A = this chain, B = another copy of it.
């Protein structure tokens, strides 16, 4: 297993650099809820053999709905604990065993779900949101505080802030990474994801977690362009970006094809809402009972009204999604990857999480998604596009992303 970067600075230097950058910037950006340079400096046991620490010295921020041993998990909620977690969540532990330095915890939408927004600003324009719910993770990476951040995605919480902040965001296939030690919101949707400025680092991370790195077939790259059934809600920036990328890919010799999702995929949206509402109701029942006055109304609504999506609706939602998963993958498997919007447009003003419409259906289908930070759009703000593929095509998706970036380049000005 190759290390990400053989010229990487030593652990203490990397940590010192991170703390210095955070010290300069975080009063404005407000990405962090907890920093612990002493704990972060400690070296993990295990994995000490040759080539076993491929993330040695990589600095990491962890979304504050994920447990890190010795740090509190606050969830941006008065119900979060001020006591330090006993154990690292497995996703943290795997990074730590590979040599990563866990710098601290990053701000989040309340319970990575609803309720209170993170306090975090978008580093490209402090008046704008970094997107949510993985707000602090995206901002901390985009602003150069750390190399890597752990995020989560239940609707669009990894990919959308990556697009808003101009970084890579990677949401693996559902189930490939343990979700233990991560606040549960909707068990059949929740996925651990990653933010990085460097696609090679994400490939290294995927290797550490053991995703297959099946090679793309030889020959020209085959990229489908899918506007999705929700494209009329895309803003002019996103429309222009998808058109520009399609044009430039075709001009570069990539085999491109415009595709529509299979018939019936308009059923994904109500199914998503039914599953989110009912699984969320089960996830927050305990807090609604234990301390009702401290739980945001958003959560009480889910707990108190399961009949809004009754058992039959929930059952049909699970079943129709399972059918559509097969149909969508049969289509997607004809290409190396499928290019789709990452968000309706650039980051809005304020602190809201943003609209998950262009993310939630891939999450629901359990598909891997990779945001590519391709454009500078209106107001000089970043705008990404996503690659999506069949379940378990994670390794190929990262390789396709590498090839697309080589052709299209990062952070290009969006043509008027």
Judge whether A289 and B46 touch: CB under 8 Å. yes
* Nearest chain B residue, comparing its CB with the CB of A279: B175
13 additional A-B pairs beyond A98-B289, A311-B392, beta carbons within 8 Å, are A46-B291, A81-B87, A83-B86, A84-B86, A85-B86, A175-B278, A178-B285, A179-B184, A188-B188, A210-B285, A318-B322, A319-B322, A322-B322
Q: Is A334 an interface residue (CB 8 A)?
A: no
Chain B positions within 8 Å of A290 at CB level = 44-47, 93, 96-97
Q: Is A282 an interface residue (CB 8 A)?
A: yes
Which residues of A come within 8 Å of B, CB atoms? 44-47, 81, 83-88, 90-91, 93-94, 96-98, 175-180, 183-184, 187-188, 209-210, 212, 278-279, 282-283, 285-287, 289-292, 306, 311-312, 314-315, 318-319, 322-323, 325-326, 329, 390-392
Q: Quick one: copies of this chain in the complex?
A: 2
A83 to B87, CA, bound (A): 9
Q: Pick the contact of A282: B85, B87, B176, B184 (CB < 8 A).
A: B176
A366–chain B nearest beta-carbon distance, Å? 8
Judge whether B282 and A177 touch: CB under 8 Å. yes
A121–chain B nearest beta-carbon distance, Å? 30
A139 to B176, CA, bound (A): 35
A245–chain B nearest beta-carbon distance, Å? 28
A66–chain B nearest beta-carbon distance, Å? 12
Q: Pick the contact of A315: B47, B176, B292, B392 (CB < 8 A).
A: B392
A330–chain B nearest beta-carbon distance, Å? 11
Judge whether B286 and A97 touch: CB under 8 Å. yes
A95–chain B nearest beta-carbon distance, Å? 9
The 10 A-B pairs with the shortest beta carbon distances in the complex, nearest first, are: A322-B322, A90-B286, A311-B392, A93-B286, A180-B184, A97-B289, A46-B290, A83-B86, A94-B286, A178-B283
Chain B positions within 8 Å of A278 at CB level = 175
* Nearest chain B residue, comparing its CB with the CB of A292: B46
Given A175-B187, A289-B94, A391-B315, A180 and B45 contact (CB-CB distance below 8 Å): no
A205–chain B nearest beta-carbon distance, Å? 13
Chain B positions within 8 Å of A84 at CB level = 86
16 A-B pairs, CB-CB below 8 angstroms?
A45-B290, A88-B286, A90-B286, A93-B287, A94-B286, A97-B286, A97-B290, A175-B278, A177-B282, A178-B184, A178-B286, A179-B184, A180-B184, A187-B187, A319-B325, A322-B325
A83 to B67, CA, bound (A): 15
A367–chain B nearest beta-carbon distance, Å? 11
* Nearest chain B residue, comparing its CB with the CB of A289: B97
Judge whether A90 and B285 touch: CB under 8 Å. yes
A339–chain B nearest beta-carbon distance, Å? 22
Chain B positions within 8 Å of A176 at CB level = 282
Judge whether B285 and A209 touch: CB under 8 Å. yes
A47 to B291, CA, bound (A): 8
Chain B positions within 8 Å of A282 at CB level = 175-178
Judge whether B210 and A188 touch: CB under 8 Å. no
Judge whether B289 and A93 touch: CB under 8 Å. yes
A262–chain B nearest beta-carbon distance, Å? 15
A311–chain B nearest beta-carbon distance, Å? 4
Judge whether B326 and A319 touch: CB under 8 Å. yes
Chain B positions within 8 Å of A292 at CB level = 46
Chain B positions within 8 Å of A184 at CB level = 90, 178-180
Chain B positions within 8 Å of A86 at CB level = 81, 83-86
A369–chain B nearest beta-carbon distance, Å? 17
Chain B positions within 8 Å of A287 at CB level = 90, 93
Chain B positions within 8 Å of A98 at CB level = 289
* Nearest chain B residue, comparing its CB with the CB of A329: B315
A355–chain B nearest beta-carbon distance, Å? 26
A292 to B49, CA, bound (A): 12
Chain B positions within 8 Å of A45 at CB level = 290-291
Q: Pick the contact of A311: B87, B212, B315 (CB < 8 A).
A: B212
